[in-house]
Structure 1
Amino acid sequence: MQIVKDIYGEADMEAFGARLSVALRNGGVVYLEGDLGMGKTTLVRGMLRGMGHEGPVKSPTYTIVEPYELADLEVYHFDLYRLGDAEELEFMGIRDYFTEQSLCLIEWAEMGRGILPQADLIVRLGLIRQGRHAVLEATTDKGAIAMAKLQDMLAD
């Protein structure tokens, strides 16, 4: 199952993230794919705002992970762009972040190949004329449930 959506501008990306957040209320693992500047962190900001977070949302490019404690869910935003070796994730205790009560949003997941769990959902962002093209793909049953919820919301 796939969802394809064209997104125009930062506000549209944040609004799409807010809708996606509703579908991911039960947590999971989401890989965010796309070149630099495609809006991955903007999408995460929209997701967090959709879940009620009011504080700043910054890219974890240098810290690798930014945690967000929400009322009913722990959200972890990872950016593995600067990771030298996937084994570094073991040293930071990466497996402790992946629980039933967490949503893990991972940019540059390919840098953690072999260590990271399988994604429930993959969001691929690409460039189109004056905007972004998002392709979402479910890779697990949990991801398929989230996709079905999102598809219903987008149909409204």
Structure 2
Amino acid sequence: MSNILKEKLENAEQTVLFGQRLSKACELATCIYLHGDLGAGKTTLTRGFIQGLGHVGNVKSPTYTLVEPYELADWQVYHFDLYRLSDPEELEFMGIRDYFGETSHSLVEWPERGVGFLPNADIDLTLVYVGEQREITLQANTENGLRVLNNL
């Protein structure tokens, strides 16, 4: 099994659907780093992921709060957006380590801004525009990440 998976996503709806598929493929607590330019679809994919686990309602971007928690039936999901983080040490003050447990999935936008304070990612997920479509690339970095890609 390859540790890289690539797919084309024609529109935002397919991005949400891929997020739903991804959530169902995560059998263990999973940390996913989300890479891509502003507007590439990171929050759209996260919305699908969270809804795929049963959340009903809005999924908002945590741009100003740094993290949005979602308490679901079987999981806690933490959606981080570190775009506005001025110093990675701020993560230590907010108790970042407490968010990464055995019953939680974490999706982290702009993870490079939290270097040194974030755990290693099971999956690095990158969204880029190719014409009017998006291309998604997932790279598994751990055994858990490989399991997720295999489940997809």
Q: Same fold (TM over 0.5)?
A: yes
One-letter code aligned to 1:50: G
Native 8 Å contact 1:25 1:73 kept in 2: no
Out of 97, 106, 127, the residue aligned to residue 104 of structure 1 is 106
2:150 counterpart residue number: 148
2:29 paired residue number: 27
Residue 37 of structure 1: SS of its match in structure 2?
Answer: coil
Q: What is the deviation of 1:23?
A: 0.8
C-alpha RMSD of the superposition: 0.7
Structure 1 residues not aligned, in runs of 5+? 151-156
Task: Give the AA of the match of 2:134.
Answer: R
Letter in 1 for 2:28: N
What pairs with 1:116-131 in structure 2 (closer than 5 Å)? 116-131=118-133
Distance 1:46 1:142 in 2: 20
Tell me the matched-pair count.
Answer: 150
SS of equivalent to 2:118? coil
Structure 1 residue 53 corresponds to structure 2 residue 66 = no
Please report how far the alpha carbon of residue 90 of structure 1 lies from its aligned counterpart in structure 2 after TM superposition.
Answer: 0.2
Q: Name segments (4+ residues, structure 1) moved above 4 Å.
A: none
Secondary structure class of the residue paired with 1:100: coil
| Superposition deviation, residue 146 in structure 1 | 0.7
TM-score (norm 2): 0.97
Residue identity over aligned pairs, in percent, reads 53
- Which residue of 95, 112, 115 corresponds with 1:113? 115
The residue type equivalent to 1:38 in the other structure is A
- In 2, Cα distance between equivalents of 1:25 and 1:38: 26
User: Is 2:68 the counterpart of 1:71?
Assistant: no
